[in-house]
Chains A and B, each alone.
Chain A
Amino acid sequence: MQRALTLHQTTIGKKLVMALSGLVIVGFVIGHFLGNLNLYRGQEALDAYAHFLQGLTPVLWGTRLLLLLAFGVHITAAFSLWSRNNKARGSRYKKHQDMATDYAARTMYWSGPILLLFVVYHLLHFTILPAHPGEVYRNVVEGFQNPWIAGVYIVGNIALGFHLFHGIFSATQTLGANHPRFNSYRRDAAVAISAAITLGNLSFPISVLAGFVTV
């Protein structure tokens, strides 16, 4: 037991923490996206869905606490590994050529902090300081009619897409799920999940900007 609790002090333990907390957030992001599809069912459906969630007080606060914890440990582990990994190189190479990595993997320390800023903005925008408290549909549509606000959501979700792609692929490896027989599915699943969520989330501000969804 004591060993399990000191695991997080090792580099591998920290990665396990990042993978598990990341997957908790991925689970939330999927649920959040599916719920938001109510936007397309109209004002009444989305507002009713929002009130339904507000009514589930213990579940709502349980989820919020879990997510706060997941974000906290994810970011703490990310920065502690980051400072360690920076020191591990010592002197820099004059020449460097990448052989295997990809854009999403190389930019995790950009997409992650962009996501964090986006999440803070998003919470302030809709949850903490909404323009019209209780009128979720109106807040969303009127918000996205402003191209600057829509732009923030578009940038935030593109960052999400890249972070999710490498995150899901990487987390399965970190958690030990690498087998030659399944590896191509692992990659396909990471592409499919991150593409579905990103394109779906992007469709909300774009539909409003294009005038498909109106107040």
Chain B
Amino acid sequence: MSEELLNLTLHVWRQDGPSQPGRFETHPATGISTHMSFLEMLDVVNEDLIEKGKSPIAFDYDCREGICGSCGMVVNGVAHGPQRLTTICQLHMRQFNDGDELWLEPWRASGFPVVKDLVVDRSAFDRIVQAGGYISIRTGSATEANEMPVAKAMADQAMDAAECIGCGACVAACPNASASLFTAAKISHLSLLPQGQAERLDRARNMVAQMDAEGFGGCTNHGECEAACPKGVSLRWIARMNREVVRSAVKSDSGVKTARR
């Protein structure tokens, strides 16, 4: 693919802190190579801002490889930008055309307060995981690898749910700012594995209670989360989470059980 240079206009959400009012600021992005990633384009804009003595646009990232879940912003109304199954750090500028106007906004959700500009505080997700997204294991030397057999079909499903990188795009895209897809992915991935059975009922109960306590909305089955998710996490895990919640409400034992498909 041959390189082209793009000139773009960015309307960027600027906000100094969680309780400060935000506003859009317009900045040109000139001479942007189509080979750049979206975040590299912002790096270029930021260098220019710094040279002019202005404060650079704050945005989150870590790996820039689409695996850590740190990055994320809404571009022209779409979480992680226009390419499906792609984090914003893996989005390339060849997805855009010369002269495009781009509106960059942070994830907007009461559960994700803005830290600065496009950076939001996603510690609500950490607290949901702390409420039950773990397993208890024996410490000491590692157990023998094949001690606990896992059927291939279950392992595959658990892997699908475990693909969630916790980026928060599902919350950003949901009309209700619901964290259902994230919470469902975490509950499902552990409830499918034998290691996850011990805390299975408490996990569903406690993680869902924490999800509600963080101020996220409820699911109305619109499917926007699934469409926005860079990892293709499926709505079927939300159905599974609901089954787990019913199970946790009617059963009281926490005994070890085998997961059912």
Q: How many B residues, CB 8 Å from partner? A: 53
Task: Give Cα A34 to B240, complex, Å.
Answer: 34
Whether B77 sits at the interface, judged by CB under 8 Å, is yes
Given contacts A10-B245, A11-B212, A99-B228, contact A88 B235 (CB under 8 A): no
Q: Could you give, for residues 3-36 of chain A, a 1 whenever the CB lies within 8 Å of some chain B CB and a 0 otherwise?
A: 1100100111111100000000000000000000
Q: Could you give, for residues 134-178 of chain A, a 1 whenever the CB lies within 8 Å of some chain B CB and a 0 otherwise?
A: 000000000000000000000000000000001001100111111
Grouping DSSP codes into helix (H, G, I), strand (E, B) and loop, the A interface class, with mixed when no group exceeds half, is: helix
Whether A94 sits at the interface, judged by CB under 8 Å, is yes
Which segment of A39-47, A53-61, A100-108, A120-128 sits at the interface?
Answer: A100-108
Whether A95 sits at the interface, judged by CB under 8 Å, is yes
Contact of B224 with A101 in the complex, beta carbons under 8 Å: yes
Whether A132 sits at the interface, judged by CB under 8 Å, is no
A15: chain B residues at CB < 8 Å are 218-219, 242
Which segment of B30-38, B54-62, B171-179 sits at the interface?
Answer: B171-179
Task: Give Cα A150 to B217, complex, Å.
Answer: 39
Contact of B77 with A93 in the complex, beta carbons under 8 Å: yes
Which segment of A64-72, A79-87, A196-204, A207-215 sits at the interface?
Answer: A79-87
Whether A91 sits at the interface, judged by CB under 8 Å, is yes
Contact of B205 with A3 in the complex, beta carbons under 8 Å: yes
B216: chain A residues at CB < 8 Å are 88
Interface residues of A (CB under 8 A from B): 3-4, 7, 10-16, 81, 84-85, 87-101, 105-106, 108, 166, 169-170, 173-180
Interface residues of B (CB under 8 A from A): 11, 13, 22, 24, 74, 76-78, 103, 105, 108-111, 113, 173, 175-178, 205, 208-209, 211-212, 215-224, 226-228, 234-236, 238-243, 245-246, 248-250, 252
